Amino acid sequence: MPIETFLHALTSYFVMIDPIGAAVIFYALTEGKGSKYRVSMAVKTIMVSITIILVFGFWGEVLLARLGISIESLRVAGGLLLFYTAFHMITGSPEGPRQGGADLEDISVYPMAIPLISGPGCLALTILLFSGASETVEKAGVIGAVILINAVTLIAFLFSSRIIRCIGQTGDDIIKRLFGVILAALAIQFIADGVRQLASF
């Protein structure tokens, strides 16, 4: 059903993008650079992110088909990638580019949009969600989830200074690990579905 597709996509994107965690990093990269700069970077980041996700959602599967990669294989690979991301969220291990870029003038494309918001894990999730939405109304539900979660992320960016004061570093660590566990469960489900479909061929 469309509402179930929307809620599943919304939950998956919320866990994958982690607006609160992204806002904490956004605050660190824009601290002391003025409210005008912060608003500009927040809006630009979200616009770039939505564009990348939707373009990949509509044409990513076609690209895979041209490369001879089945969606079942992508489900397994995407699940493994999501589990890798979840592992780092739970253990608190560094994630490379996500930690850098503090001295960049324009942080909207890198590291905020790529790889923080619309990174490899998010794009793999996007293909899986769009491929599972067989009807137009279901695809509309996924698109709605993409727009809504990015809107929530934008609000989190704009109020990132208040979020920092409210949750602190300990709160952010707790949220990250909780979302990591949920994401790990989603990843295992993707892998199980992919293996089951591959085995049925």
pLDDT of residue 114: 83
Contacts of 175 (CB under 8 A, 6+ apart): 18, 20, 21, 167
Are 52 and 123 in contact, with CB atoms under 8 Å apart?
yes
Q: How far apart are CA 153 and CA 16, in angstroms?
A: 12
pLDDT of residue 172: 66
Bond from prior residue into 111 cis (ω within 30 degrees of 0): yes
13-38 burial, b at 16+ Cβ within 10 Å, e below that, comes to bbbbbbbbbbbbbbbebbeeeeeeeb
Tell me the pLDDT tens digit for each residue of 155-170.
Answer: 999 998 888 778 776 7
Query: Which one has a higher pLDDT value, 109 or 71?
Result: 109
Which 8-state DSSP code applies to residue 98?
G
pLDDT of residue 53: 95
Q: How far apart are CA 47 and CA 31, in angstroms?
A: 21
